[in-house]
Amino acid sequence: MSAEIPAAPPRNEWAQLGERLPPRVFLGTSSWSFPGWAGIVYGSTASESALARNGLGAYAHHPVLRAVGIDRSFYQPLDAGQYARYASQVPDDFRFLVKAPAIVTDPALRAEGGAPVQDNPDFLDAALAAKCFVQPALEGLGARCGPLVFQLSPLPGHALRPDARRGWTEKIGAFFAALPKLVGDSDAVYALELRNRELLTPRLVHALRDSGARLCLGLHARMPDIARQEAALHAMDSPKTEGDEWALAGPLVVRWSLHAGMKYEGAKGRYAPFDKLMDPDPPTRAALASLVRRAARSGQPAYVIVNNKAEGSAPLSCIALAGAIAGIDEA
């Protein structure tokens, strides 16, 4: 019998923030198994493994955290039963952002240390993606399924030459067009997250729009700043309009992964155990809050998934972002 992990005692100010968020704004963190979140998310200290197994129910009680990212699916495909177990632990209005497995999103097969050893024959294989990812996620998560994010691993340098980019753009567009159509009551949506800024071109934006997929804004060192990515989103949704009066034509999907100027391992070492905001980034929060409010005005859901490496503590970043969305200075 699994040990129950209690939720942190409710704080009135956080409950009020949750009530002020628009109903289809889904803020959450990238995974949930961090012992340092005791007192913020969890009511007692538990090990990482215990939280991974049994912490999701307590996490979902937090008044601001309405979503979570499932990252483990990137390393190994999950089956419908595993997704269903996650879905059973959260309320109906909770949403999951799920990362597609590297078997279809990484152009290379890699050694244990991460070095590429050969080309991946299954890269951008839509049939395999449907079988090992889309169908199990939709079946297991049901109505709680949110964005299905295909994070492309970095492409090799020769693939980024101007003469090669067009071919990659066509392959990416064809891949999304070949995935199963998303129908029914689910909020599921396909989204592409890049790891090469060179691929963020008008041609790619048009290919995503034509296939019905969304651009996932990825905030990390490999991509341009949020203003450049917002401009791409603007071009995707309102190509014939000028100025600030534009509406999102689909869900807003954001993954705030890393503080500007930081590398992953450096951020991990500086921020652990992830229990405080070490490097607050109000400008990024303000930009995200503006985009979330635009999504709400456009009648579209907004998903913002935050990593501990963004500011030091992902749940506290979500709380501060909720304050910015509501027009309250929280940090």
User: How many other CB atoms are found less than 10 A from the CB of residue 319?
Assistant: 24
- The lowest-confidence range among 16-20, 63-67, 85-89, 245-249 is 245-249
- Mean pLDDT score across all residues of the chain: 93
What is the percentage of the chain residues whose pLDDT exceeds 70? 96
Is the pLDDT at 194 greater than 60? The verdict is yes
Q: Is 60 helix (H, G, I), strand (E, B) or coil?
A: coil
**pLDDT (tens digit per residue) in 205-247:** 999 999 999 999 999 988 999 999 999 999 999 765 555 578 9
Concatenated DSSP letters of 8-41: PPP-HHHHHHHHHS-TTEEEEEE----GGGBTTT
Cα–Cα distance measured from residue 116 to residue 245, given in angstroms and rounded to the nearest whole number: 45
| pLDDT for position 328 | 77
| pLDDT for position 1 | 34
Torsion over CA of 278, 65, 328 and 214, rounded to 10 degrees?
90
Q: In the chain, what are the domain boundaries?
A: 12-326
Q: Is 240 helix (H, G, I), strand (E, B) or coil?
A: coil
| Cα dihedral 185, 7, 315, 70 sign | negative
Concatenated DSSP letters of 269-293: HHHTT--S-SS--HHHHHHHHHHHH
**pLDDT (tens digit per residue) in 277-312:** 999 999 999 999 999 999 999 999 999 999 999 999
| pLDDT for position 239 | 62
Cα–Cα distance measured from residue 305 to residue 194, given in angstroms and rounded to the nearest whole number: 16
Beta strands in the chain (DSSP E): 25-30, 65-70, 95-99, 108-110, 116-119, 145-151, 189-193, 214-219, 252-256, 302-306
Q: What is the mean pLDDT of residues 24-47?
A: 97
| pLDDT for position 46 | 96
| pLDDT for position 331 | 43
**pLDDT (tens digit per residue) in 141-167:** 999 999 999 999 988 888 788 888 889
| pLDDT for position 260 | 87
- The lowest-confidence range among 34-43, 255-264, 276-285 is 255-264
Q: What is the total residue count of the chain?
A: 331
User: How many other CB atoms are found less than 10 A from the CB of residue 73?
Assistant: 23
User: Considering only CA atoms, which of 200, 129, 120, 186 is closest in space to residue 156?
Assistant: 120
| pLDDT for position 160 | 84
Superfamily name with CATH number, domain 12-326: Protein of unknown function UPF0759 (3.20.20.410)
